[in-house]
Copies of this chain bind each other. A is one copy, B any other.
Amino acid sequence: MGSQPDEPIIATKRQQVVTIHDVARAAGVTIGTVSKALNGQGNLREETRERIRATADRLGFRPNDLAQSLLRGRSFTVGLLTTDSYGRFSIPLMTGIEDTLSDAQILVFFCDAHDDVARERRYIDSLLAKHVDGIIVTARRTDARPAVNVGNTNIPVLYAYTQVVEPDALSILPDDAQGARLATEHLLSHGRRHIAQVSGPQYFESVQLRMEGMRHALNEHGLDLPEHRILLGPWREAWGYQAASILLDTDSQLDAIFCGSDQIARGVIDALRERGVRIPDDIAVVGFDNWGVIAQATRPALTTVDMNLHELGQYAGSRLLAMIAGKKEPGIVRLPCSLVIRDSCGVHSVRNTEETERRGENKDEE
């Protein structure tokens, strides 16, 4: 009761955590012995080992990673540097990366540079100062970016869902061309022969690759992709809506549309339906991204290409682990896309599918 004299005003600045010394003192041994006991090193009497172990968790001892890292020269941390966390692509990528790394007892620093070069530089410096074991760089789009400069360190850097021109860098990307081929072949296998493409701006590498992939698949079937069936515009639902109207007005033979994104596909589908076109009977539609909230909400539900970004992230994590272990094999790795078949192309086909519906991306919660 009353005022407690001499109570420090400032909170104890130092965390009063229990250290190996406390354990040693409590167990009546020296710190060396404690270390050996807890790490299963050296030859200790099983009795002592057990006694020490007991006092350790009685005291709630937790070895200080900072000290260990300093000693080992490895921090068991990795930096994840993203230019901009738009979300749609970053999230599955991030969780994939983090999945494999956390299995390796590695914690991930999340660094969002907001497309700001100076900010990115500061992040890299911080990561280097914290002696991360590696850095994964990612982005909102797959196009090339400048390499990250880690100075005179030999910290491994890996690029995921983005790439770098440096020949000694490792970049991991989805195989856009293959994804487009998959979609096109699916449409062809459903008897479609007059297929248009509605996609994003030409200056995206992914747009070009998907166009090439589609063209390639058509050519293999003796078909071509005429200019008037290629409509490029912004990555927006409204563009899909508009493009579909244009196609309906100009191309009476059209029997399928391959869209560069699910957003565009949604606009396309809405426009078609409103103009009385039956989907897929009259015109079939394929999307790209397998963005659950969109692909499952279109009427009919959207058949679409999945870039498997979660798996891509997992793979990136494992490759970084390998690099940390010393194995550096630079290059550009493109991982296959798969096709998720729903109802916008007709009856379910079992062909041309590498995988069927993937782990539900739609959490039925807010």
Chain A residues engaging chain B, CB cutoff 8 angstroms: 10-11, 13-18, 60, 62-67, 69-70, 73, 75, 77, 80, 84-91, 94-95, 98, 102, 105, 107-112, 114, 119, 122-123, 125-131, 140-141, 151-155, 200, 204, 206, 234-238, 260-261, 263, 266-267, 293-294, 297, 326, 363-366
Q: A60-B152, A80-B110, A130-B65 are in contact. Are A366 and B140 (CB under 8 A)?
A: yes
Tell me which of A15, A123, A125, A266 has the highest count of chain B C-beta atoms within 10 A of its own C-beta: A15
CB distance from A57 to the nearest CB of B (A): 11
The answer to whether B102 and A123 touch across the interface, beta carbons within 8 angstroms, is yes
Beyond A141-B365, A363-B140, A365-B235, is A14–B112 a contact (Cβ under 8 Å)?
A: no
Across-interface contacts of A86 in B (CB, < 8 A): 363, 365
> Which of B10, B108, B152, B238 is A109 in contact with, Cβ under 8 Å?
B108
Q: How far is the CB of A49 from chain B (nearest CB, A)?
A: 21
Residue of B nearest to A69 (CB): B66
What is the distance, in angstroms, from A161's C-beta to the closest C-beta of chain B?
11
So how many copies of this chain end up in the complex?
2
CA of A102 to CA of B110 in the docked complex: distance in angstroms? 10
Which listed residue (B107, B114, B129, B206) contacts A63, Cβ 8 A?
Answer: B129
Answer whether A14 and B366 are a contact pair too, CB < 8 Å, given A91-B91, A111-B107, A129-B62. Answer: no
The residues of B that contact A293 with a CB separation of less than 8 Å are: 237, 263, 294
* Contact partner, A67, options B70, B151, B153, B366, Cβ 8 Å: B70
**Known interface pairs A15-B153, A131-B66. Does A94 touch B105 (Cβ–Cβ under 8 Å)?**
no
Given contacts A108-B109, A129-B62, A237-B297, contact A140 B73 (CB under 8 A): no
CA distance in complex: A159, B128 (Å): 30
